Structure 1
């Protein structure tokens, strides 16, 4: 089990024994919840120290104190022949789905970032790409903008809302 050894505004020092954490890598995204604090923190492993075969310490830079798991879809051009609507979603415009994390502003407590951002698989990121982000109440078309940080398996990017529709709209 992981244990928080130290905490600052910008990060955490976490440690594990018993072989836990041996596969942790630099640049990995980690979600941490301290037993005395409600909610999860999202961080990036910036330092890694394998103290022994049995013990690991990691320095984690906190990038968000709040996060929301979201499902995104590639945005396709509307197909007039297949124009049906389900729960407010025009199905002909919905492409392949992928998972992401929405980080409500401000993210990064040590150097607050006031823009809306998401973390998506790097394979899904292209600057200017429009995707559909669906919530319980609304459907957003968002444009993926500038990279905040990129790793081989994830990209943290700013987003711009292009369009917002109510899920109840036909």
Structure 2
């Protein structure tokens, strides 16, 4: 009985690997179809801003950054953190309306500085984007996971 149970477990694992886990990873057409079919209910993106965010304890660092916004975040990171690490932290983000009170009050292209207790944040709003859907390329891992769940559900229903 133990050997039969072991053999069944191995067979089930191999079946799941072939029909669910690997299939979702390599079936780009099926993944795209799944995304298109489910994007309206699962992958919505509300109105949002594309921002570059810079955090530092030193206001002169942020003033210098604001004068060099044409440079990439990695270039700014290497300029300001070469002497002392973590002088400047850089981020590029998409933030939905209603998720950040400061940005909600500064919902336009441009820069603004937010003062906190121990640090300052320079917000550079690059663009304001309307409602839409999260691009597959940005959420591929999540979509693959959802697709695997659907494939597994279909496989289980087919076995029963």
With the shorter chain as reference, the TM-score category is under 0.3
Highest CA radius of gyration, 1 or 2?
A: 2
Q: TM-score, normalised by structure 2?
A: 0.23
Task: Give TM-score scaled by structure 1 length.
Answer: 0.22
Structure with greater helix percent: 2
Structure with the largest fraction of strand: 1
| Higher RCO (CA 8 Å, separation ≥ 6 residues) | 2
